A and B are shown apart, each in its own frame.
Chain A
Amino acid sequence: MAKIQTPRDAQQSRTIPVGRGVFLGVTGLTGLGLGLAGVGVNVGRILPNLSNLLPGQNINGFTIYTITGGFPSMKAADYRLKINGLVNNPKTYTLNDLLAMPAIEETRYYQCVTGWVVPRPRWRGVRLWDLLQAAGIKSEAVALHFNCFDGAYTESLTLDQARQPDVLLAYSLDGKPLAVDQGYPLRLVVPGMYGYKFAKWVNEVTVTDTVIPGYWEQNGYDVNAYIGRSNGY
């Protein structure tokens, strides 16, 4: 279908490769955005966390995770915390027992492995080591295994890690009782470790003679979860 081209036709069919320019431009901008991380600029600190602006979001900056179908809830009156395993005196506490004990606060930043940080959460609770001392740890004990009443989540700490005075079982966040999605009534708090150690809905602490990896640790995360010393760095 040979056809004589008029100058007007040539004008009409002349095209510019705009598409690749637009594509390379936006891809380059995104690469620049990622590259800014290398010079210490975090776009997340400049841009608000978008999901926090959406309705139904947690106001204190946490992204909420659950591994079962929803958030397990329990009435305060029904709740019991058990300390058992390799201890001389297994103990059971009600929530009121815990509230009556000396309270301590921790405000170290909370950091998730997937790249979000809560700068200053104010946890309030009881020192884990005090509860373990009251139960009397046997000499062959090495680690702790935490069970949660969602029926699925587990966590672990070595006794050396649990001995640190800032390790809490917290019942309060930012001056209020823990919300159901934040682990009401009791949550493990291990300042300096990644967020997956902060087991929610804890109702049993078992003292063990081996380290039993927790839920995410069986899915690839480090058992030793200190920020800066695990999970790659």
Chain B
Amino acid sequence: MSARVVRFNRTERWVHAVQAISFLVLLFTGLAISLTFMESLVGHRALMRQVHLTAAFFFVFGPGLVALAGDRLAIGSDIHEVDSWAKDDIRWLAHPSTSPDARTPPAGRYNAGQKLNAIFTVYCTVAFGITGLILWQNRQFPYSLVSQANTIHQWLAYFALVVFLGHLYLSVVHPATRAAFSGIILGTVGADWAKHHHPKWVAPPAPETRLRGNEVVRSLVLLGLGLECMAIVSRFGLELLGAVNTDPVIKLIYRVTGFPGTVQHAASTVHTWDLGALLWLGLGMALWYGAMRRHSLLPRIFPAPAKG
């Protein structure tokens, strides 16, 4: 068995998993509430809507929170690699290949296609998030904007479905590239495959370190605090919009953020700045920041890039 190298560390794999799972849930529930034949098979529109909106929360906030709860520097360097393109990357786009040969411009850790896919994913997070918020809170926006958001959300969904199917084909089915699949699930890929497909990538020499119990606890605490803070931020966003709190999803957000001292809304419309919730948000963020600074980050498997 040939040597294996680490392509994605634990944090990178979890960031991917969180967004992948929430995407699949969003895709299923989204199709279930927009296609007639799916509606006839699944139905239960109110439930599908609630699941869709809950998954959306994890789709939008999840990856960032996992990154911050784990090895944020690794995610930072991923973002940097996707952002910075060498001349070879631009040449690669003109001669893309799933089985690189001598004429294929050499790729780094990510080839140009993978970089475009990553950019598209970030774009989807933002665009689905904004158009989805307008559709969800449709009573708080002009109808022309709701209508526009509906069209964009729907077109983008089908485009993302096509991109997703291509992504799945290349990573699971295509014989030349499916060796990459183990990288995002287990972390490692074959060293020979990596050299052939990503010649400019300097793979880390050491295997991933074992996960220690206290690191798991700290990551879970950071994740929990982060989710709670985002729920309180969402509560403020909804109050700012003047959302109606009889919506079950908003009821849920109010339930998980309804600490002592927060405003308990009896009226159907909420539109107040809630000082109590603001204090809880401050406390949550202080705890979160403390937990992040208190201990060292998860063991980094990528050495810091040499300066100079």
> Is residue A6 contacting chain B, with contact meaning CB distance below 8 A?
no
Interchain CA distance A89-B42 in the complex, whole Å: 40
**Size of the chain B interface, CB-CB below 8 angstroms:** 63
A111 shortest CB reach to chain B, Å: 8
B43 & A232 in contact (Cβ 8 Å cutoff): no
Q: Are B158 and A50 in contact (CB under 8 A)?
A: yes
**A47:B155 contact, CB within 8 angstroms:** yes
Q: Is there a chain A Cβ closer than 8 Å to B264's Cβ?
A: no
Would you list which residues of chain A between 52 and 81 have a CB under 8 Å from chain B?
54-58, 63-71
A30 to B144, CA, bound (A): 15
Is A98 among interface residues, defined by CB-CB distance under 8 A? no
* A219 part of interface (Cβ distance < 8 Å): yes
> What A residues does B142 contact at CB under 8 A?
37, 233
In the complex, whether A92 has a CB less than 8 A from a CB of chain B is no
Q: Which residues of A contact B42 (CB under 8 A)?
A: 69
Indicate with 1 or 0, residue by residue over A15-27, a CB within 8 angstroms of chain B CB atoms: 1111110110011
A94 at the interface (CB under 8 A from B): no
- What residues of B have a CB within 8 angstroms of the CB of A37 in the complex? 142, 144-145, 147-148
Closest to A231 in B: B139
Q: Which of B37, B39, B150 contacts A114 (CB 8 A)?
A: B150
Smallest Cβ-Cβ distance to A227: which chain B residue:
B143
What is the distance, in angstroms, from A56's C-beta to the closest C-beta of chain B?
A: 4
Is B82 at the interface (CB under 8 A from chain A)?
yes
Min C-beta distance of B73 to chain A, whole Å: 18
For A22, A42, A58, A115, the residue with the greatest tally of chain B CB atoms inside 10 Å of its CB is: A115
Given contacts A20-B83, A68-B43, contact A115 B138 (CB under 8 A): yes
- A101 within 8 Å of B (CB atoms): no
Say yes or no: is A139 at the interface (Cβ < 8 Å to chain B): no
How far is it, in angstroms, between the C-alpha of A43 and the C-alpha of B108 when the chains are bound? 39
Contact A34 B83 (CB under 8 A): no
Q: Is B306 an interface residue when CB atoms closer than 8 A count as contact?
A: yes
Is A36's CB within 8 Å of the partner chain B? yes
Determine if A113 and B138 form an interchain contact, defined as CB atoms under 8 angstroms apart.
yes
- Cβ of A116 and Cβ of B150 under 8 Å apart? yes
| CB closest residue in chain A, given B79 | A19
A30 close to B152 (CB less than 8 A):
yes
B250 touching A19 by the CB < 8 A rule? no
Contact B150 A113 (CB under 8 A): no
Contact A114 B135 (CB under 8 A): yes
Residue B86 CB within 8 A of the other chain: yes
A177 to B37, CA, bound (A): 20
Contact status B148-A42, CB under 8 Å = yes
Q: How far is the CB of A134 from chain B (nearest CB, A)?
A: 34
Which chain B residue shows the least CB distance to A22?
A: B119
Report the separation of the CA atoms of residues A107 and B42 in the bound assembly, to the nearest whole angstrom. Answer: 31
Contacting residues, chain B, for A106 (C-beta < 8 A):
none
Residues of B within 8 A of A113 (CB): 138-139, 146
Complex CA distance for A85 and B42, rounded to whole angstroms: 34
> How far is A70 from B40 in the complex, measured between Cα atoms in Å?
4
Answer whether A44 and B151 are a contact pair too, CB < 8 Å, given A65-B45, A67-B46, A114-B146.
yes
* Pairs A-B, 7 closest by C-beta atoms: A115-B150, A19-B83, A232-B139, A15-B84, A44-B151, A56-B37, A18-B85
Would you mind naming 13 contact pairs between A and B with Cβ atoms under 8 Å apart?
Answer: A15-B85, A15-B86, A18-B85, A22-B116, A36-B148, A42-B144, A44-B150, A68-B44, A115-B138, A115-B143, A218-B246, A220-B268, A233-B142
Given A15-B85, A42-B144, A44-B150, 9 new contacts (CB under 8 A): A16-B84, A17-B83, A19-B119, A34-B130, A47-B155, A63-B34, A67-B44, A70-B43, A181-B36
Q: Name B's A-contacting residues (CB within 8 A).
A: 33-37, 39-46, 82-87, 89-90, 115-116, 118-120, 122-123, 126-127, 130-131, 134-135, 138-152, 154-156, 158, 200, 244-248, 250, 268, 306, 308
